[in-house]
Amino acid sequence: MSDDQVRRRVTPGAWSVEGAAVVEDRRVAGTEEDPRATELRRAVARLRRELAAHPADLPDRAIADDELAALDAMAREGVPEVPRLRRALLLIAGALGSVSALAPALRGVRAAIDLCGDVPRAGGRD
């Protein structure tokens, strides 16, 4: 397993290795927002900004915009459905095609969605 694939479940306040970055899993005092949701919102906001600034006329831009808005809404709710996140990612990637200028931001969204893969389901079942 490569360093990029190293991932482990952590408790709040613990450190984990996510690719080349070390991430502290903690909550901001006075809030209950999951840091994974915060990272997803941050990555989605970056891709939305870069997509808005991209000059090319992409035929499926509206689909990407709609799915990015849906991802942002799911992250704000705090308990994202991982299959829905992955579906949105596929639709966004398909809508953007092979626009290399947007690839780094799209990879950021993918990485944030991968972090959400360990989110426990409602009702306490894994």
Written as one string, the DSSP assignment of 23-35 is EEE---TT----H
Nearest to 110 by CA among 28, 62, 60, 46: 46
pTM of the full predicted structure? 0.68
From first to last of its 126 residues, what are the pLDDT tens digits of the chain? 333 433 333 334 444 444 334 444 444 455 577 888 999 999 999 999 999 999 988 999 999 999 999 999 999 987 678 999 999 999 999 999 889 999 999 999 999 999 988 645 455 544
pLDDT score of 98: 85
pLDDT score of 96: 93
Contact 115, 39 (CB under 8 A): yes
CA pair distance 80, 113, nearest whole angstrom:
9
